[in-house]
Structure 1
Amino acid sequence: MDKRQTMLDDFEHLQDQTTGILDQLAALKKQVTALSEENAELTVENQHLRELLGTDTDTTEAQQRLSKSLQNLERLYETGFHVCREFYGQRREENDSCAFCLDVIYGERDRTIKAS
């Protein structure tokens, strides 16, 4: 009977530990959610402040020379997706650069500048 009681005690102890871990995970999930929401709010607020100040750090000289469609492709590329014909829409592995994508985005502009 001692073995049975010891096993039941061990099982109850394990169950208590598991419940504690689940409570900790729930608390961490709440914290991560709150931080993610705060981050999103601050990102939007920063963008609005940049627009008000007229200093959008994302607008570089190179982007100003790109057409709207190429700027859209550049944004897609910067978020980690291929924009080249060979791999269009696929995620770039570890955000490695792709010569084909860069040629699609900047190639025509570079050829135009060299021709001038």
Structure 2
Amino acid sequence: MDKQSLFVQVANLEERIGELYVELGTLKDKIIALIEENQRLEQELERYRTGAALPPDGELTSSGKDNLMRIYQEGFHICNVKYGSLRTDGECLFCLGFLRK
């Protein structure tokens, strides 16, 4: 085996190790994001289980508008366009218009 082919093999191996290192870093970032999302969801679930999502005085109003306002503040659409789906893009003009009626 000559020195040139040995050098080429080492260079190829070094390049593959670099690519694996980049891929490992990407996977690590994805795992961190998933862990953070999981913790956020677990905290939200615990809030709902313990009733922390309810008003502090523990009393619910019987007004339908108050219930819709609470649902909207929890992050769901209340408009007829997307009723019940999660609001991912911030405020919804349809929902806000409905609440202002």
2:98 maps to 1:98: no
Letter matched to residue 16 of structure 1: Y
Match of 1:113?
A: none
2:29 maps to 1:33: no
Letter matched to residue 11 of structure 1: R
2:14 maps to 1:14: no
TM-score by length of 1: 0.46
Aligned length: 89
Match of 2:77?
A: 80
Q: Is the 8 A contact 1:80 1:95 kept in 2?
A: no
TM-score by length of 2: 0.51
Q: Is the 8 A contact 2:78 2:84 kept in 1?
A: yes
Q: Secondary structure at the match of 1:82?
A: coil
Aligned-pair identity in percent equals 10
Provide the rounded CA distance (Å) in 2 between the counterparts of 1:44 and 1:6. 57
> 1:20-78 CA distances to partner (integer Å, 9 max, x unpaired)?
4313422442232123202220243214684xx4344xx3xxx63x4xxx777x36x83
Provide the rounded CA distance (Å) in 2 between the counterparts of 1:90 and 1:49. 21
More helix by share: 1
Unmatched segments (≥5 aa) in structure 1: 108-116
Provide the rounded CA distance (Å) in 2 between the counterparts of 1:4 and 1:17. 20
> Residue 80 and residue 25 in structure 1: after superposition, are their counterparts in 2 closer, same or farther (change >3 A)?
same
Q: Secondary structure at the match of 1:6?
A: helix
